[in-house]
C-alpha cells in the first residue's frame, strides 16, 4: 500500500505495434486494400507475445496472456513507394518476427518482404534506377510451384513480365533463400533487327545449383508470352538462356535472406558488366568490388536499425494520436 493508504493504480503496459506493415513490392492484385487506410488491424497472431518497449529496442517476451495489449495487433504503416503502376500494397511483419533480427536466426517471409521493399525504395531513388525493374513478392514462387500457374495467373492481370527489363524473384526453399532474375524480357519482343535472348539467372549464396527453379521461371514466362500474344501465332517465343551466376558464399547457414537481398542489390547495379562477363566466359563476375561481401557482414545489424527506427516512429505517432483524442 502507498504511504497515504490509497490503492496503487496499476500501471498500463505500453507496447509498440504488434505488427509491422510495409508495402508489397509486387503482389496478389486481388488482396489488400485499394486505398491506404489510416489505421489497420491485422488478425490475431497464432503465437501471442507480450512486448516491452524501450526507446532503443524491442524486447520480445514469450507469453500466453490473452489480455496482452499486443493481442489486438496494432501496426504501423510504411508508405514506401514501389514505383509500379498497380499502386501500393501492404504486407505485415508480426511482432514475433522481429525476434528473428537477432544473430543466428533465419529471416522469415515477412522480414524478407520488408528488406526487399526498403532496398527497392532506396534503389529507385538512386541514379542507378534506369531500366524498368520489377520485384515480385516472396510468396509468388511458393504459390506457383505448390499450386501451379492458375494460382498466380491473376498476378499479371495489370502488367506483363514483357514490360520490364529486370524481374527479381525471391525464392524460399525450406530454410534457405536464393533468387532468380529475368533479364531482357522487354527487349525480346521489341522491334529490333535481331531479337536478343532472355536471360534467367539464379544466385545462391550456398552455391547450390538451381536449374529446377530456373526451369519453373522459364515455363511461367512462356505461359505469360502466350497470354500476351494469344492471336499472333506468327510470333515466335523468345529464346531463353538459363544459367547459374556464382556469388561469394555466406559465412554461415542462417544469413541467407540477408545475403540474397545484398546480392540482388549488387547484381541489379552491375547487371550489364556481369552479363558481359558471363557471355565472354571471363572471371569478371568474381570481382570482389562488385559483390562487396564486407558490407554484407553488417547487413543484419543495419537492417535491424531500419526496422526499429520505423517501429519507433509508428509508436510515437500512435502515442500522439491517443493524446490528442
Domain ranges of the chain: 17-104, 130-280
How large is the average pLDDT for residues 29-37? 33
Angle of the 256-269 helix axis to the 299-324 helix axis, nearest 10: 100
pLDDT band, residue 98 (cuts 50/70/90) = confident
Angstrom distance (rounded) from CA 77 to CA 88: 11
List, in order, residues 6 or more apart from 55 with CB less than 8 Å away: 312
Q: Is the dihedral of CA 90, 94, 95, 98 positive or negative?
A: negative
Segment 267-296, tens digit of pLDDT: 999 998 898 888 887 788 888 999 999 999
β-pairing, 166-173 vs 176-183, is antiparallel
Spatial CA neighbour of 109 closest among 171, 59, 41, 164: 171
Phi, psi of 164 (to 5 degrees): -125, 150
Give the contacts of 153 (CB within 8 A, at least 6 positions apart).
none
Q: Which residue has the higher pLDDT, 91 or 16?
A: 91
- Whether 228 contacts 160, CB under 8 Å: yes
Q: The domain 130-280 is classified under which CATH number: 3.40.50.150, 3.40.190.10, 3.40.395.10, 1.10.4000.10?
A: 3.40.395.10
CA pair distance 183, 166, nearest whole angstrom: 5
What is the C-alpha separation between 125 and 122, in angstroms, rounded? 5
pLDDT beyond 50 at 192:
yes
Amino acid at each position: 500500500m502507498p504511504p497515504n493508504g490509497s490503492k496503487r493504480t496499476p500501471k498500463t503496459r505500453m507496447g509498440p505495434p504488434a505488427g509491422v506493415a510495409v508495402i508489397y513490392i509486387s503482389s496478389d492484385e486481388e488482396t489488400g486494400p485499394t486505398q491506404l487506410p489510416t489505421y489497420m488491424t491485422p488478425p490475431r497472431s497464432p503465437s501471442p507475445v507480450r512486448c516491452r518497449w524501450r526507446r532503443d529496442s524491442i524486447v520480445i517476451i514469450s507469453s500466453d496472456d490473452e489480455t496482452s495489449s499486443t493481442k489486438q495487433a496494432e501496426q504501423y504503416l510504411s508508405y514506401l513507394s514501389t514505383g509500379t503502376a498497380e499502386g501500393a500494397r501492404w504486407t505485415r511483419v508480426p511482432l514475433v518476427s522481429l525476434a528473428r533480427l537477432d544473430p543466428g536466426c533465419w529471416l522469415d517471409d515477412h522480414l524478407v518482404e520488408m528488406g526487399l521493399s526498403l532496398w527497392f525504395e532506396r534503389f529507385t531513388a538512386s541514379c542507378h534506377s534506369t531500366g524498368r525493374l520489377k520485384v515480385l513478392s516472396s510468396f509468388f514462387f511458393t504459390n506457383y510451384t505448390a499450386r501451379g500457374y492458375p494460382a498466380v495467373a491473376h498476378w499479371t492481370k495489370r502488367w506483363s513480365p514483357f514490360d520490364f527489363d529486370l524481374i527479381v524473384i525471391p525464392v524460399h526453399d525450406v530454410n534457405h533463400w536464393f533468387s532468380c532474375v529475368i533479364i531482357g524480357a522487354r527487349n525480346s519482343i521489341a522491334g529490333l533487327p535481331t531479337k536478343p535472348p532472355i536471360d534467367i539467372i539464379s544466385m545462391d549464396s550456398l552455391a547450390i545449383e538451381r536449374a529446377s527453379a530456373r526451369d519453373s521461371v522459364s515455363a511461367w514466362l512462356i505461359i505469360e508470352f502466350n497470354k500476351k500474344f494469344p492471336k499472333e501465332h506468327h510470333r515466335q517465343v523468345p529464346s531463353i538462356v538459363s544459367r547459374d551466376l556464382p556469388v561469394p558464399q555466406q559465412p554461415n547457414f542462417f544469413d541467407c535472406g540477408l545475403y540474397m537481398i545484398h546480392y540482388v542489390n549488387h547484381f541489379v547495379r552491375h547487371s550489364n558488366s556481369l552479363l558481359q562477363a558471363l557471355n565472354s566466359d571471363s572471371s569478371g563476375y568474381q570481382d570482389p568490388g562488385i559483390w562487396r561481401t564486407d558490407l554484407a557482414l553488417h547487413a543484419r545489424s543495419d537492417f535491424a536499425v531500419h526496422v526499429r527506427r520505423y517501429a519507433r516512429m509508428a509508436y510515437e505517432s500512435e502515442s500522439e494520436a491517443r493524446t490528442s483524442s
